[in-house]
Structure 1
Amino acid sequence: MRTTFSEKHIEALRKSGFRKTWPKGTILIREGERAESVIFLEKGLVKTTAQAPNGYTSLLAIRGAGELIGEVSCLDGRRRSATVTAIQDVAGIAITAERFLTLLNSDSELSFAVMRTISTRLRHSDGQRVASGAHTAGIRVARVLLDLVLQYGEPASDWGADVLQVNVTQAELAGAAGTSRESVVRALRELTRRELVATGRKRIVVLNVRKLHAYVT
């Protein structure tokens, strides 16, 4: 869920860390590691994934510019609960955990903004869990896809004006929707039949956002 910090907060974060870039495919945060820093994203998209004991990898979220990643582990002192990987070339501000905590202790407004961000993400996560029990797998896939394209959709210029795409694989979409890859294939086949989406290598094109919204509501 995209969150927004004020310019004052962003400037404070920038002054507390250093700018860094990560090429597409780079792991920024690895599950199980100690929390040594937080990252404020300024450009590009990352995916957050977690691996179950049986080896199944779930896509937990996609984050983009204007969002913090890694802050929860810095706050509670526990090891990383997920892996964060760049799905585009990414740029951001890396801040050491110690400096981040010092900054929060000295800036109550920023501290509240971070808490509000965490609360928003928890509410969104709760809503997704409720939806997973109330809808069919096909509708869950469509709802997750709509959510992703509204937050992080990019122009699909090869498909025409006002057409958006998201750079996720079918396996990642399955993880986000809490269903199997086979269910995602069936859901996308139905959405394609309705001329709502088109699929390509590591991307899904939403041909009509308004009609996709109507389909899931």
Structure 2
Amino acid sequence: MAEDFTVTGTSPWIHIDLSYWDDLTRDRLPQLFRKKSFLYHQDEMPEYVYIIKSGRVRVTSYRSEGEEKQLYIAEQGAMCGEFACIQNHPHDASAVAIVDSMVYCIPYQVVEKHMRGDWTMAQKVMRVICRKSNIFLGQILELSFDQSLQRVARILLDIAAQYGEKRPDGSVLITIKFTHQDIASMINTSRVTASNIFNDFLEKGTISRENGYYSLRDPGELESLLGEH
């Protein structure tokens, strides 16, 4: 992971050491979810709390008009599905595997029993919920105050913080591929707007692209945009 540049506190990627959940995952076998398969669907009643052992899962809210808003990316150790279980309410979003993923599917009754009998476990779950609340608050503030340019710059820095490799020349190579539509869904803008901003960054040399992978020429250049409104 690249270092020495801003990692925003509201980055939508959640990664937690798997040992954090040992009391829940011990003696359990994870289930394989192939790429593009759903862990759960929006509006269905919950049965399980999910803990990602490996891979990546995208949690997205959909609207009847076909619009979608990516809420966060659950990586190794991340928990998802707990909101609906705690509220005994249908899922407000869907969770789909971005890549082949191994996932612990833990009946909520088991999680609830641990939380009732172990204050430490209850705190762990609450910390995860607070982390997500920070992500959602950040998204609300960005939509309220930031222009699309700033939102694209921020999400590029977040991706680079999670998947970046720093090169000798100071640039940062992002080691995963993503589309303009992916970015648009994360920051709630149109694909056309996201594409125009990427093309502008490419023309100015702020970013470069090779074999489908983006590089940030100078992360500080993107950081400077976050203060410009």
* TM-score greater than 0.5 by the shorter chain: yes
RMSD: 2.6
Structure 2 residue aligned with 1:108, among 110, 119, 136? Answer: 119
- 1:73 and 2:88 correspond: no
2:61 is paired with a residue of what secondary structure? strand
Conservation of the 8 A alpha-carbon contact between 2:61 and 2:94:
yes
- 1:197 and 2:184 correspond: no
5 Å matches for 1:1-217?
A: 1=12, 2=14, 4=16, 7=19, 9-15=20-26, 17-151=28-162, 153=163, 162-198=172-208, 205-208=214-217, 209-217=219-227
Per-residue CA shift, 1:76-104, capped at 9, x if unaligned? 11011111111111112110111111121
CA drift at 1:199: 5.2
Amino acid at match of 2:25: R
Structure 1 CA distance for aligned equivalents of residues 213 and 188 of structure 2: 18
- Provide the TM-score with structure 2 as the length reference: 0.81
Amino acid at match of 1:180: S
Structure 2 CA distance for aligned equivalents of residues 83 and 156 of structure 1: 33
Structure 1 CA distance for aligned equivalents of residues 124 and 110 of structure 2: 17
2:50 is paired with a residue of what secondary structure? strand
Per-residue CA shift, 1:4-53, capped at 9, x if unaligned? 3683x421121274311112111111111110101111211111111112
Per-residue CA shift, 1:167-211, capped at 9, x if unaligned? 43222211211211111011111221233334589x652334444
Structure 2 CA distance for aligned equivalents of residues 93 and 154 of structure 1: 27
2:35 is paired with a residue of what secondary structure? coil
Q: Tell me, which stretches of 5 or more residues in structure 1 are unaligned?
A: none
2:16 is paired with a residue of what secondary structure? coil
C-alpha distance 34-199 of structure 1, shift in aligned 2 (>3 A): farther
Structure 1 CA distance for aligned equivalents of residues 204 and 113 of structure 2: 53
1:163 is paired with a residue of what secondary structure? strand
1:18 is paired with a residue of what secondary structure? coil
| Richer in helix (by share) | 1
2:52 is paired with a residue of what secondary structure? strand
Greater relative contact order, per chain length (Cα 8 Å cut-off, separation 6+): 2
User: Percent identity over the alignment?
Assistant: 20
Conservation of the 8 A alpha-carbon contact between 1:156 and 1:165:
no
C-alpha distance 204-197 of structure 1, shift in aligned 2 (>3 A): farther
Q: Tell me, which stretches of 5 or more residues in structure 2 are unaligned?
A: 1-11
